[in-house]
Structure 1
């Protein structure tokens, strides 16, 4: 069954700053949607922002500034976003004035057997919020943590223990802790929110041409693809739970979207090495032709440490590495009926990071690439591993996986354009901003 999301909207909203409220409308509608939920979600706005947060006695001229703290608990790190908003008039929409960002590694999932340490890392990051938000505003500032693929991959009891530790840290903090302030966000919401964010920020949701851009997100534990199909056959030929339908700006959007848990970059390394679910990690060595022949080291992910190495007496290089990666994605990643040559996709996270490592784009400005550029770079990196070993001994494996995922996984054409970026109009493409607004509005979700 497809996911039906109905958003009641009658506002004629300009691009800035009203884009933030539009994100809220979608995010809040998505917040409770999972693959098992198929009923329409109606969103009813019944209060203004100023009346929702805890009431404090405050000078009149300071009521225009408010704050929000959002934790992104990913598989490879935990990040804190501290947002400062300005609302000049209760009848106007707020403007994002500033963002303070900080991150630490590893992610919460690395503390699966030491949940108290996971809680400690969050408490350390909370110092950033205390140093950013004025003391008088602490009790009015919502504090929220959303975990993603790292915790989704853990056994439920271990994920629960980590979340409980975080909840204890939050409850002991001086900030405002809303209901459901600590939770695991489903991958579908990640993908849809990123699509709406980017298309809103780039103005595509208002464009008369009706053209939109797709999004690709590659995390450590999962990867997402979301785009607006141009052909009904794409919708008809796709699994039912890959389609999400919602109304926005008097238009109905039917998106192709899916999150592949276990196919993020780090999880793909494990799969290629044959280390998924393996035992005897203290003595076993996992080898790959994607690694330099003389390379041998310990590598940690998800709270476990693996001994990995190249194949000393074997062959290495792009062709052999590609065969290893093909086994990871073949028969698992669904290929949509259409991925037009003219479609433009925005690619984030490890797509961006590895393109920087390989010298394909500028680390500050980002850039535009075609799928074939990843393939060309993967060949160069894999056939000259010694040259790139100082950057990362895993660069050949990672670039080859990205190439394989795009071509043989999703089925992109080699000339599909990818826009590699971290921000659009100086706004993070992360879901974190929209999730922050989630806790600023008193919504009735049915």
Structure 2
């Protein structure tokens, strides 16, 4: 009986020790896991085979947050009934140039709801990435630096997601273009195949336009270095889903749709611009500058608008390479990775405004000539008739419909040397496993940061 009593006491002692010590060990383990490689955590987590990524797109027109959920093979999993959680707010961070703290706080509602989507136990190992694009690039002085620092403080003090200071940054041109390429080819199921089976991408944003496509290894070895200050190289190597790609990408700052409006208006000063709809009188503000918006006394002219737009593209800029696009930029040389081209963002939106695509479809084949034909119709329309003719056109875009359509045509044909009769795919969303997912760079960023291979574009 005495022996049994001592055994019982010993057993109780052992149970007590484990009961008290185990939570403290778990806490130390969690603290340690916050400080080791995020890629290791995301790939080999013992608590779950699922991986989440929270990506903020801080663009020139507003801020968006995307939350993605993947399995161990980087296949998208549903979040509720959708394959992504998405939330947006406006204006963008650049609108808070005088108040960095207010800029950061504009993201707080998005952050709170995005974090709530991620299971609590996975938050410490779920990366949060804030990628600012053209809007912040254009701010003067150290304004963008102060805004980004305020965002870092927000994430550090008010979020439980995995955060690193360098993950809050202005995306360079290569990152922005390459992430969009990854996103679209991921949704199409092309990643993991030969580069010739992938599609090229042109993404027209508000402040910049990006082109990206895969090229051959031989072409990559002969690729020139960029002579432009903002870019060190045109081609980088990426390993995705077990396949090595040599990716050409370039971002043309100030050639986004909102930026080029200012550029085209600036070329004619206050004397009237042939791209502005007849009868309109007003102003346009972009990047702190105000431009007069009105047609010349002779009226809107598509012929003159084409000439002004081609001048804005700087087609005659000195280019030291054999194959060039515009503004002195190497084209990448073309090839199989560019033969099938997807055009996104404002390429689709403007077509929808002009009623040249059925808005019930989110992806459509279109020829550059269609943009020009639509421009001829828009340029011949008076301000008093334009709303009735184009019911999907917002008031703020109304005076620029002629200009925008001319620019889309000129950018594709004169800028990127696309045949006017060649079909491209204008895309807003892409069907994926029975659902439609937005074609946007944050998905590509999420795939990149969660890839088992080195994520050299993020680090």
TM-score interval, normalised by the smaller of the two chains:
0.7 to 0.9
Secondary structure, counterpart of 2:106 in structure 1:
helix
Matched, 1:398 2:404: yes
Matched, 1:428 2:438: yes
Please say if residues 210 and 251 of structure 2, whose CA atoms lie closer than 8 Å, have aligned partners that are also in contact.
yes
Equivalent residue number for residue 226 of structure 1 = 212
Hey, what's the Cα distance between the residues in 1 that align with 2:421 and 2:217?
Answer: 20
Hey, what's the Cα distance between the residues in 1 that align with 2:455 and 2:260?
Answer: 40
Equivalent residue number for residue 313 of structure 1 = 297
Equivalent residue number for residue 31 of structure 1 = none
Equivalent residue number for residue 327 of structure 1 = 311
Please say if residues 143 and 178 of structure 1, whose CA atoms lie closer than 8 Å, have aligned partners that are also in contact.
yes
Hey, what's the Cα distance between the residues in 2 that align with 1:84 and 1:406?
Answer: 35
Q: CA deviation at 1:197?
A: 3.2
Hey, what's the Cα distance between the residues in 2 that align with 1:383 and 1:429?
Answer: 33
Secondary structure, counterpart of 2:196 in structure 1:
coil
Secondary structure, counterpart of 1:260 in structure 2:
strand
1:79 to 40, 51, 64: 64
Secondary structure, counterpart of 1:210 in structure 2:
helix
Structure 1 gap ranges (5+): 1-43, 277-283
Equivalent residue number for residue 372 of structure 1 = 369
List aligned pairs for 1:153-302, cutoff 5 A.
Answer: 153-179=138-164, 180-205=166-191, 210-229=196-215, 241-246=233-238, 253-274=245-266, 287-302=272-287
Question: CA 1:144–1:110 in structure 2 vs 1: closer, same or farther (change >3 Å)?
Answer: same
Hey, what's the Cα distance between the residues in 1 that align with 2:271 and 2:87?
Answer: 33
Matched, 1:412 2:408: no
Question: CA 1:208–1:299 in structure 2 vs 1: closer, same or farther (change >3 Å)?
Answer: closer
Question: CA 1:213–1:50 in structure 2 vs 1: closer, same or farther (change >3 Å)?
Answer: closer
Question: CA 1:367–1:156 in structure 2 vs 1: closer, same or farther (change >3 Å)?
Answer: same
Please say if residues 285 and 306 of structure 1, whose CA atoms lie closer than 8 Å, have aligned partners that are also in contact.
no
Q: Quick one: higher RCO (CA 8 Å, sep 6+), 1 or 2?
A: 1
1:366-386, CA deviations, whole angstroms, 9 ceiling, x for partnerless residues?
Answer: 311011111111121112243
Equivalent residue number for residue 363 of structure 1 = 359
Question: CA 1:46–1:79 in structure 2 vs 1: closer, same or farther (change >3 Å)?
Answer: closer
Segment drifting more, 234-243 vs 306-315: 234-243
How many residues end up aligned between the 2 structures?
Answer: 383
What's the Cα RMSD here?
3.6
Please say if residues 273 and 288 of structure 1, whose CA atoms lie closer than 8 Å, have aligned partners that are also in contact.
yes
Q: CA deviation at 1:223?
A: 0.7
Question: CA 1:360–1:133 in structure 2 vs 1: closer, same or farther (change >3 Å)?
Answer: same
Hey, what's the Cα distance between the residues in 1 that align with 2:41 and 2:262?
Answer: 48
Please say if residues 229 and 235 of structure 1, whose CA atoms lie closer than 8 Å, have aligned partners that are also in contact.
no
Secondary structure, counterpart of 1:47 in structure 2:
helix
TM-score w.r.t. length of structure 2: 0.72
Please say if residues 335 and 409 of structure 1, whose CA atoms lie closer than 8 Å, have aligned partners that are also in contact.
no
Q: Which has the larger radius of gyration?
A: 2
Q: CA deviation at 1:268?
A: 0.6
Hey, what's the Cα distance between the residues in 1 that align with 2:55 and 2:451?
Answer: 15
Question: CA 1:309–1:375 in structure 2 vs 1: closer, same or farther (change >3 Å)?
Answer: same
Structure 2 gap ranges (5+): 1-36, 227-232, 318-325
Equivalent residue number for residue 380 of structure 2 = 383
